[in-house]
Amino acid sequence: MSTRLTSKHSVEAHAGFVTPAGAAWLASATSYPRSTLALWESRPTAPVVLPCGTAFDVVSVPAVFGRRMLDRLWEEGPGSGPVATYRGRTLIFAAPGTAHRLPSLLAWEEWGEAVPTPLCHGIGDAVTVPAPAPATTPAGRDGSRWLVAPDTRHPWLPGPEVLLWAGVKAARSAVRISIFPPPESDAKVYDVSRRR
């Protein structure tokens, strides 16, 4: 089954559980995948640091904005690949090369201060990912958990254009922008559209 999802119901079904194929995909990012898998077999609730840039890139955004992006991806877009939360951040796993391309695409957008700048992790970077097995507490000891857990050896990963689209949609849903100044409190407003 592919991780590319189209409904929230499907997303909720995949939260928190990494399949053996998904764990193999995560471990494939390391130089020693068998050692990583052996670590997880002996300590299935241990988070691990994985390098980015070969199997995946990671786009990290504040948790609330990340959830808005995911809502847009699931409700209006193509779905998402694996997604995790870790220490107040949403980690969106993306196609290799996204970390290099996304910042230049974002530079074209006029975000202002309403939208947080994402941290893009690619070649030469590493991220801490939640353990493959769910922890005994709902969000782990450090607040980490899988929102969409890897469940296949070749998950679909969004590219920079898809994440740009999701970021723009999330920003627009979070901030209402008007080209008109707010009305003065004592100003009289007349409806000029109903002239006689």
pLDDT bucket at 34, cuts 50 / 70 / 90? very high
Q: Give helix 160-174 / helix 63-76 axis angle, nearest 10°.
A: 110
**Proportion of the chain above pLDDT 70, given as a percent:** 72
The per-residue pLDDT for range 166-185, each reduced to its tens digit, is: 988 888 876 554 455 555 55
Torsions phi, psi for 166 (to 5 deg): -65, -40
For the chain, the average pLDDT equals 81
Using DSSP's 3-state secondary structure scheme, residue 164 falls into: helix
Q: Pick 81 or 196 by higher pLDDT.
A: 81
Query: Using 50, 70 and 90 to split pLDDT, how confident is the model at 7?
Result: very low
pTM above 0.95, yes or no: no
